[in-house]
Every structure is written in structure tokens, then in C-alpha cells.
Amino acid sequence: MELTAPSVDVAQPRSRILAAVRLGVALSALAAYIGLLVVGIVAHEPWFDEAQAWLIARDASISDLLSKYLRYEGHPPLWYLILAVPAKLGLPYKAINVISAAIAVIGVSLLLAQRTVPLVIRILLPFSYFVAYQYTIVSRSYVLLLPILVLVLDLYDRRREHLWRYVLLLVLLSQVSLHGMSLAGAFTVLYAVDAWPQRRSFSRREVQRHLAALGVLLLNVLATALVLRPAADLAISAKLNFQFSPIPLLGVGWTALTSSLAGPGILSTIVLLVLCVWFHRRRVLVLFLVLTGSLLPISSIYFNRWHEGVFFITFMFVVLLAFRRAAPEIRGAGDS
């Protein structure tokens, strides 16, 4: 009787070692990110709009916030409701920066957990300008965009199976800012376009579920519109006119995208063209165009330099989804 040595799977220990190394790198990146935020918070001198949001959340009752003050702010209530808890408990003003940083850390942690995205992107994106500073140390509602969109990313190709979780995320996204409302609307339209050809396969219960979800989204829009209806004495009411001319709209979007990437010029043009070809191959080009296009109308009347970050984070959402759809290829390359 011939004895043979048991076979040893060499690949499995190696895979575990690589996984441990990747985990260590991700945790190191998270620790470095938290350290950067601590230094930034200590050195940061707040802008007036940070202080204004904190004071409104502290001094206004919830009913006054919803019925009076947000009409002048032009922002949905989610950020103010978050700030109201520590502000009304008497915490010091610096708490606004700690809260913003905590939300950012949650978003970055969710991002680092996306194993279908190359590790190099997961560890570099947190240190980009908007994620590391403009939407984090500078405490504005836009800090909520990253964690919400990463959660949307997890559900995007399984929206039908997790419809109510998806609706909840869209409601939260719409309450970040008017830009978030535009993105939520675009996501809703894209879902409807994807679901319409499959409508004959829906059971009666599923049809009812979709109608109820649509009703929730519409009620959310109507309630937000009621809260944010412009006051008659609003100082900038004369400037609230949408410019639907295509050239200015496209100019706003192009400037925002290129400025948030490599700056206006030939390099950004080449990068965008190459990525659009890749987006097309990964079936996310229409998503990119619709999401970016949804930001243009509101940007035509309400756009500052920091709003470029909304375009940047939206752009990165599409990049992450493209990698997610290429996950089998990434795993085959040993860089999941």
C-alpha cells in the first residue's frame, strides 16, 4: 500500500496573509485620517455659516426651526436636527467640529470596508481635499454625503430586494442639502427607468410596495418644499431664478468637475474622456450623466467653491460602483 503525503493548499495561507496586510493598511489609513482630523479641529477657526447653523439649532425650537428659520437658510432640516441635540444639551461650540469629524470617520470606515474597490483608492480618497477638510473640519451638512452614498453603493444593484432601506437612504440624502435632494430625485428616476421593463414580473404585493415607496418619496419632497418655501422678505429672492440655457448649465458642471479633479485644462479633459469610456464598459455612464446633470439646475443659482465637492463625491460614487461591478476581475488580480 503506497502512502502519499496530504496535499497542502498553499494559496489559502497566502490569501490570509494578504488579507491581514490589507486590513492593517486600511486600519493604519483610518488612524492617520483620525489623527489628521484631530489636528485640523484644534487649529480650525470656524466660518460664520458653521456658527449660524449651531446658533439656530441651539436657540430655535424645533417648530420654529421648521416653520420660520429654514426658509431663510435654504437647507433641509437634517443637519440642524443633528446639531440640536448637543447644542440644546449645553455642549461647547467646538462640539460641532467633533460631530462633523465623527460622521466623516463613519463614512471613511464604510469606504474602507468596500473590499471590491482597489485598496489604493480606499486609502487615498479619505485624504482628498473635500473628504479630509472642506466637508469635515469645516462643519457643514455636506459631511453626510459620503456615508449616505457609500450605503447607497452597497444597495445599488440590489435596490429591488431592499426597497425600503433604499428609500430611507434617499430620504436622508434629500435632507442633506438641495444638491442632495437633486441627487435623490435622480436616483429615483433611474430606479423607475430600470424597474419599468420588469413591471410585468412584479407581484401585486410588490406593485403596492413600490407605490407606497413612491408615496413616501413624494411626501418627503412636499414636506421639504413646505419647510423651505422662500420667505417674502428673503434678501436674495431676486436672484432665485433658474438659468436653463444649456451652455451656462454645462459650463457650471464642467468647471465643477474639472476643478475638483486636476483643475481646468487638457489633463482633466483627458481624464474625464478616458473615464467615460470605462464608465460605458461598466454600465455606469448613464448613471454618471444623470447624477451630474441633476446637480446643474440648483448649481445655476446656488454655487460656491465648496459645492465642487458635491460633484467630486458624486463622481467618486460612480467610480466606486464601476469597480464594484468589476469585482470578479479585481479579485482575480488579487486586489479586492
Confidence of residue 253 (pLDDT cuts 50, 70, 90): low
- 66 DSSP 8-state letter: I
**Mean of pLDDT values over 297-313:** 81
Mean pLDDT lowest for which of 38-42, 96-100, 292-296? 292-296
Percent of the chain with pLDDT over 70: 84
In tens, the pLDDT along 10-42 reads: 557 777 888 888 889 999 999 999 999 999 999
pLDDT for residue 301: 76
Mean pLDDT lowest for which of 86-95, 162-171, 203-212, 327-336? 327-336
Task: Tell me what the pLDDT averaged over the chain comes to.
Answer: 86
CA distance 17 to 137: 35
Contact 153, 114 (CB under 8 A): yes
Q: What is the pTM of this model?
A: 0.87
Closest C-alpha to 103, from 75, 82, 129: 82
Mean pLDDT lowest for which of 29-38, 80-89, 293-302, 326-335? 326-335
Closest C-alpha to 132, from 316, 318, 309, 311: 309
pLDDT for residue 331: 41
pLDDT for residue 334: 35
**Mean of pLDDT values over 211-239:** 85
Using CB atoms within 10 Å of the CB of residue 91, give its burial: 0 to 12 exposed, 13 to 18 middle, 19+ buried: middle
pLDDT for residue 304: 72
Give the end-to-end CA distance of the chain in Å, rounded to a whole number: 44
Checking if the pLDDT of 179 tops 80, the result is yes
**Mean of pLDDT values over 221-226:** 95
Contact 241, 83 (CB under 8 A): no
pLDDT for residue 335: 38
Say which residues have a Cβ less than 8 Å from residue 301's Cβ, sequence separation at least 6. 239, 240, 241, 242, 243
